[in-house]
Amino acid sequence: MKYDAIVVGGGHAGVEAARVLALRGLATALVTADAGAIGRMSCNPSIGGVAKGHLVREIDALGGLMAKAADATGIQFRLLNSTKGPAVQGLRCQSDRELYEEWVGKIVNALPGLEVVEDRVMGLEIVAGALKGVRLKGGSILQSATVVLAAGTFLGGVLYVGDERFPGGRTDEFSAYELSESLKAAGLPLIRLKTGTPCRIEKSSAKLELMRNQTGDAEPEPFSLQSTPFPALPQVVCYLTRTTRNTAEIIRANLHRSPLYGGTITGIGPRYCPSIEDKVVKFPHNETHQIFIEPEGLASPLLYPNGISTSLPRDIQEQIVHTIPGLEEARIAKFGYAVEYDAVDPRAVTHSLECRAIPGLYLAGQVLGTTGYEEAAGLGLYAGYNAARAVRREPPFRIAREEAYLGVMVDDLVTKGVLEPYRLFTSRAEQRLLLDRHTAYKRLSRYGEEAGLFPTAEAEAISSREAAVKAIIAFMESAKMRCMEGQRTVASFLARPETSAEEVASFIADPFFDNRWVRRYIDSEIKGAGYKARQRGEAARLEAARNVKVPEGLDFRSLSGLSREVIGRLEEVRPETLGQAEQVPGVTAAALSILRIAICSRRKGK
């Protein structure tokens, strides 16, 4: 069979890529070993978080699927960091695992022009240095000069539970060893990474009444402002508990049985999503660690203990769980495990996510060194955009760092590579004040509309809302009102931190202002206008400062605000300029700004 494009993998990255290709009118094959697992949430059934929530809104603004899937199947929605500014707030939802997979599967299977092929890809078909398609397990070849590889953790995947070792990318699933070897033979540089998951608890065996309730927001905000009705499902309570000193003692006494600390696992795990072993070893000053007990679905009999990811043996996992308040008599339905897998060094791809060594091959998701559903979906969407444009002989698609978190992530991966699975944080964006969730449609929806990814009614709704926001802000900046200080514009009155948008509602005749999400958007734009203007100036200065020399012998430890991780990386590399410091893996945009300010201050001091 011959196709315009082939997508390998039916996870979050593969789904977004395949959907873009199909909606752009290209004959597309989505190859997956299990057609019933499309959109599967392999770890925690949750979407969003700090920075990740921004990315999900951006995916929606670009015409992607994840935001609407989350809204349709979410069973608890919360705005993280709600007391802080919009730049560092984060939308997050707990999803119903089975319903999410079912919802995504229905959308994908209904796409015209997309064929789901249930089979395993064993390798790339390359003839005379040119990509010709993929080889399937039975020996047949699917032909295409354009392939999006979104293989998740399956490339050379190995699962670990104590001294038990199994081939696989997920529990009870296969390892794509042959495909990994095919990539290596084609000249792609592979790196070894690691991630993990906790055990699952039988809900009926947990004493939830001994834990602290964690409720969702009374008026939750959707990821997609096009989602109606919202929320679509009944909302549930999650729970909070903590590990104990006894937990830590058991872990310390059995570290020799951990494949992570026994030397069996060589892959590097995500620093910001550590296993419970890592928490106990690396943070000995913390006597206990918080655990989020989260339902896996409305009808699911399982709980997800978020915070105790582990690869310790089964008997030790039992002991650990029984030291946690509320779980003293808990029954484990599925044991936790670590998975070690191959990924391609992301520096081997261009900013279009196309492999330099194999034109026509695009990479997305964990195969490119990331971690998380949201990062995978964003990269899948981005790869799909570019693969479609390549087939249609259009110029590559690229989003700048100042346009979106998606642009930040792609640029970070391509220019810096990874030392561990990459996860988005607001600190990675030097212009994060400009990238709040409210402005995502203003920044990005034109791309989705140009690509034909929005239904006409949805495109018109987005356009009308943005036009209304612009008109209302312009009116507020000119209309005067009387207050205690005398006459002042409505905008200047709303700009005060203690003033809410509801207090100026009587001055606004536009019916769009009745929508609470539009009010939050406008409130954010007006209150943040001065800060955003300063950040634009700061960004311009940072661009001009890339050639600034870093003083020889500068004591990075003396600079307030730098993390231990950043200090260690800078001390190891000793960059000569800020431009070189920017290329050091792990050095964030915020750290660069601190470094630049410190250098300028010392010069002025001299």
Using H for helix, E for strand and C for coil, what is the string for 61-123? HCCCCHHHHHHHHEEEEEEECCCCCHHHCEEEEEECHHHHHHHHHHHHHCCCCEEEEECCEEE
pTM tops 0.85? yes
Q: Is the dihedral of CA 507, 511, 516, 519 positive or negative?
A: negative
Q: Residue 425 in contact with residue 50, Cβ under 8 Å? A: yes
Asked whether residue 537 carries a pLDDT value surpassing 90, the answer given is no
Q: What percent of the chain is modeled with pLDDT above 70?
A: 99
pLDDT digits (tens, 9 = 90+) for 369-383: 999 999 999 999 999
**What one-character-per-residue DSSP string does 330-367 give?**
--EEE--EEEEEEEE-GGGB-TTSBBSSSTTEEE-GGG
DSSP per position, 544-592: HGGGPBPPTT--GGGSTT--HHHHHHHHHH--SBHHHHHTSTT--HHHH
Residue 274 has pLDDT above 70, yes or no: yes
Confidence band, pLDDT 50/70/90 cuts, at residue 578: confident
pLDDT of residue 260: 85
- pLDDT tens readout for residues 513-532: 999 999 999 999 999 999 88
Radius of gyration of the chain (CA): 25
| The predicted structure's pLDDT at residue 270 | 82
- Angle between helical axes of 440-450 and 52-61 (0-180°, round to 10): 40
Collect all residues with Cβ–Cβ distance below 8 Å to 530 and sequence separation of at least 6. 495
Lowest mean pLDDT among 222-231, 234-243, 597-606: 597-606
Helix or strand holding residue 527 (H, E): helix 516-527
CA atoms of 425 and 431, how far apart (whole Å)? 12
Edge to edge, the sheet with strand 332-334 lists 212-214, 238-242, 290-295, 302-306, 200-202, 332-334
For residue 138, pLDDT beyond 60:
yes
Q: Find the helix packing angle between 52-61 and 405-416, rounded to 10°.
A: 110
Percent of the chain with pLDDT over 90: 78
| Residue whose token pair is 């709704």 | 461
Residue 98 has pLDDT above 80, yes or no: yes
Closest CA to 566 of 597, 590, 542: 590
Range 216-240 burial, b when 16+ CB lie within 10 A, else e = beeebbbbbbbbeebbebebbebbe
Show the tokens assigned to 97.
Answer: 């695992």
pLDDT tens-digit series, residues 548-564: 888 888 899 998 889 88
Asked whether the predicted pLDDT for residue 130 surpasses 60, the reply is yes
Pure H helices in 417-482? 440-450, 456-478
List, in order, residues 6 or more apart from 32 with CB less than 8 Å away: 9, 10, 14, 38, 116, 117, 118
pLDDT at 606: 54
The residue ranges of DSSP E strands in 345-421, in sequence order, are: 361-363
Q: Using CA atoms, how far apart are residues 127 and 144, in angstroms rounded to an integer?
A: 12
Number of residues that this document lists for the chain: 606
d(CA 364, CA 312): 30
Distance between CA 38 and CA 108 in Å, rounded? Answer: 8
**Phi, psi torsion values for 445, nearest 5 degrees:** -65, -20
Confidence of residue 603 (pLDDT cuts 50, 70, 90): confident
Smallest Cα–Cα separation from 280: which of 239, 308, 311, 313?
A: 308
Among 311, 259, 302, 406, residue whose Cα is nearest residue 44: 302
Beta bridge partners of 477: none
Q: Which of 109-113, 281-285, 460-464, 578-582 has the lowest mean pLDDT?
A: 578-582
Higher pLDDT, 590 or 489: 489
Lowest mean pLDDT: which of 80-89, 539-548, 549-558? 539-548
Q: Which of 160, 187, 184, 155 is nearest to 9 (CA)?
A: 155
HSE-up (13 A, CA, CB side) for residue 474: 7
Average of pLDDT values for 242-271? 91
For residues 337-357, give the mean pLDDT: 95
* C-alpha to C-alpha distance for 48 and 377, rounded to whole angstroms: 11
Instruction: With beta carbons less than 8 A apart as the criterion, state whether 14 and 382 touch.
Output: no
pLDDT tens-digit series, residues 142-199: 999 999 999 999 999 999 999 999 999 988 899 999 999 999 999 999 999 999 999 9
Residue 106 makes CB contacts below 8 A (sequence gap 6+) with none
The predicted-structure confidence for 309-331, as pLDDT tens digits, reads as follows 999 999 999 999 999 999 999 99
Q: Binning pLDDT at 50, 70 and 90, where does residue 605 land?
A: low
Q: Which is higher by pLDDT, 473 or 486?
A: 473
Would you say residue 353 has pLDDT above 90?
yes
pLDDT band at residue 590 under the 50/70/90 scheme: confident
pLDDT at 171: 86
Over 80: is that where the pLDDT of 545 sits?
Answer: no
Q: Residue 423: pLDDT above 90?
A: yes
- Asked if the model's pLDDT at residue 222 lies above 60, the reply is yes
Q: What are the pLDDT digits (tens) for 32-65? A: 999 999 999 999 999 999 999 999 999 999 999 9
What are 388-416's pLDDT values in tens digits?
999 999 999 999 888 999 999 999 999 88
Query: What torsion do the CA atoms of 362, 368, 372, 374 make, to the nearest 10 degrees?
Result: -30
Q: Which one-letter amino acid corresponds to residue 466?
A: E
